Amino acid sequence: MGTTKHFDFDSETNAIAEICKALGHPTRIQIMSLLWKKNNRTCGEIVSLIPLAQSTISKHLLELKKANLLNVKNEGKKTIYSIEVDKIQILKKYLTNYLSNRVISNEEKTVVPTSGAKMKNEKKLNLKQYNYQFPNKKNKTD
């Protein structure tokens, strides 16, 4: 068996990676957006605003909670969720610093083809027969 390289990053880099991983799903970003607009929501309130099952929302809330992006307060049978602002400030500080120091050179700018013409040497993508990511994509068997 091969060996895996391991490198210890500083705590801030690890914290940013953890935050980005937790925010790596559109539903979780939507939940955070809802909480940013109005803090202190219950799971039921979030379910009423996002058309997904309650169990799905609960799993996403758990992932956000594991990353310490949410504060959780229990009031009787209700669980109240709010944003952990300190964690968001870490991400804001990192992104602000990164974007202010980032200069895009002319070589890095890319031109997107507007007519949909295929590029030379473009390889054909092998997509699954049932491709849920692209619902408008027609299958060869249709």
Residue 82's SS3 state is strand
Q: At what angle do helices 11-22 and 85-101 cross, to 10 degrees?
A: 100
The pLDDT value given to residue 131: 47
User: In this structure, what token pair is assigned to residue 106?
Assistant: 């002319």
Q: What is the pLDDT along the chain (142 residues), one digit of tens a residue?
A: 567 677 788 888 888 889 999 999 999 999 999 999 998 999 999 999 999 999 999 999 999 999 999 999 999 999 999 999 988 898 899 888 888 887 665 555 665 555 545 544 444 444 444 445 555 656 555 5
The pLDDT value given to residue 107: 54
Q: Where are the domains of the chain?
A: 11-101
- CATH code of the region 11-101: 1.10.10.10
